[in-house]
């Protein structure tokens, strides 16, 4: 008997939940940046700090003496000498250490990091605000660096609505492996939802934006209109996608147990320099789920709006990374949009982050891209127990 694989979205839809406390009240005091925000690696110049000396008895007329003692070098007096602040060069990668070192010197009034500012790019898609996950994984910051890639994401699923207005211009020719179905058009809805999460067209004035808003989508239909399919069909889909230009293979499906035939298909794709991503499962268990648990697959758990593990998500140190998976708003069949829940929704988020990261670092191998995304994930309270490497952060990954 052929083994059946089922889709991993939760069977219910919840109303949209937007993040709270987005806007500060006008009459509140504004906190200083270091008091309110954690300054993360990549958000400041790693070899420079800003220093202001005191104007009282500690003032030293020749500040070069202080720099010589502490190990920094004055680069310039800011504002063409009209500012009291100096730009100071320090050893590369030691900006935080030297900021503290200077701040503790009695002749220094204040020392700060040389923070990086960028243009604040926001796509014009009208329903962007309903996609809370963009804020959590910092898509907005990433888009200031790279708005999208030319990478190709294969959505190996129920197909994709081929004429959805927010997807159709990004679709490449796909294929169906479901018996009796000749088109990769979606007759269920799940695959269309996953495709939009990854690569709905950004800045087109329609609907939403995918994380990689210029990536191409390859629809590969391996699941029928009931949302299930056979191992043989999925293996055919994986190999076909590999041979037809896909860079990232996204599989929001799972079930069954280990099969060497399926592992061999995964290995075929991996050895062709492809990245394979799969959902960890929605059974709230630490038991392995396949294909997520195969070698050479990035296994994805789901988190909620407060960065906790979603109640339905499978978990364990066999899971590589987590991503938002509750109340995810995306494209749906009938040219519509809908909220869905599941590790199915978290998976295309990670797939798109991998694609966007690869677009920024085009010389990387598949292993280097995976390492980059895993190593730059945000650490949450559940990191190391429910999933190994943290919750994905696309801004960190593309820096």
> What angle do the packed helices 343-360 and 190-199 form, to 10 degrees?
30
Is residue 166 annotated as part of the catalytic site, yes or no? no
Q: Which of 344, 378, 382, 386 is catalytic?
A: 344
Q: Which of 190, 193, 313, 320 is catalytic?
A: 190
Q: Are 326 and 156 in contact (CB under 8 A)?
A: no
Q: Can you read off the two tokens belonging to residue 361? A: 């670092």
Q: Which of 67, 125, 134, 157 is catalytic?
A: 157
CB within 8 Å of 148: residues ≥ 6 apart: 202, 212, 213, 214, 215, 356, 359
Degrees, nearest 5: CA angle 197-188-259: 80
User: How many C-beta atoms lie closer than 10 Å to residue 367's C-beta?
Assistant: 12
Q: Can you read off the two tokens belonging to residue 362? A: 């085009």
Cα-trace Rg, the chain = 24
Is residue 133 annotated as part of the catalytic site, yes or no? no
Q: What pairing do the DSSP bridges indicate for beta strands 321-324 and 85-89?
A: unpaired
CB within 8 Å of 164: residues ≥ 6 apart: 192, 196, 331, 333, 335
Is residue 286 annotated as part of the catalytic site, yes or no? no
Q: Is the peptide bond before 192 cis (omega within 30 degrees of 0)?
A: no
Measuring CA to CA, which residue among 145, 197, 130, 146 is closest to residue 170? 197
Q: Which residues are catalytic, by number?
A: 157, 190, 344
């Amino acid at each position: 008997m052929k083994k059946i694989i089922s889709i991993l979205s939760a069977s219910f839809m919840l109303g949209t939940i937007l993040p709270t406390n987005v806007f500060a009240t006008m009459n509140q005091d504004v906190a200083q940046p270091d008091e309110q925000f954690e300054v993360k690696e990549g958000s400041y110049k790693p070899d420079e700090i800003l220093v202001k000396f005191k104007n009282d008895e500690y003032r030293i007329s020749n500040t070069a003496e202080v720099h010589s003692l502490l190990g920094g070098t004055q680069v310039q007096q800011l504002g063409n000498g009209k500012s009291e602040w100096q730009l100071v060069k320090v050893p590369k990668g030691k900006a935080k250490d030297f900021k503290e070192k200077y701040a503790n010197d009695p002749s220094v009034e204040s020392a700060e990091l040389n923070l990086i500012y960028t243009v604040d790019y926001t796509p014009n898609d009208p329903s962007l605000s309903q996609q809370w996950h963009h804020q959590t994984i910092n898509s907005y910051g990433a888009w200031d660096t790279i708005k999208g890639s030319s990478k190709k994401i294969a959505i190996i699923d129920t197909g994709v609505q081929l004429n959805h207005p927010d997807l159709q211009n990004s679709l490449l020719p796909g294929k169906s492996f479901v018996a009796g179905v000749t088109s990769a058009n979606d007759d269920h809805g799940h695959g269309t939802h996953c495709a939009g999460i990854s690569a709905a067209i950004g800045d087109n004035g329609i609907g939403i934006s995918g994380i990689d808003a210029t990536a191409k989508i390859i629809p590969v239909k391996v699941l029928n209109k009931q949302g299930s399919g056979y191992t043989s069909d999925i293996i055919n889909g994986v190999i076909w996608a590999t041979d037809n230009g896909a860079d990232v293979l996204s599989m929001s499906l799972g079930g069954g147990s280990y099969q060497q035939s399926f592992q061999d298909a995964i290995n075929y794709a991996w050895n062709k320099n492809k990245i394979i991503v799969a959902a960890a499962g929605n059974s709230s268990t630490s038991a392995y789920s396949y294909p997520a648990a195969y070698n050479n697959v990035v296994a994805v758990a789901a988190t909620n709006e407060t960065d906790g593990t979603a109640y339905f998500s499978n978990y364990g140190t066999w899971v590589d990374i987590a991503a938002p998976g509750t109340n995810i708003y995306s494209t749906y069949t009938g040219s519509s949009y809908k909220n869905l829940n599941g590790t199915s929704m978290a998976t295309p988020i990670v797939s798109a982050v991998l694609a966007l990261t690869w677009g920024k670092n085009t010389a990387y191998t598949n292993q280097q891209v995976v390492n980059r995304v895993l190593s730059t994930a945000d650490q949450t309270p559940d990191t190391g127990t429910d999933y190994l490497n943290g919750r994905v952060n696309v801004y960190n990954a593309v820096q």
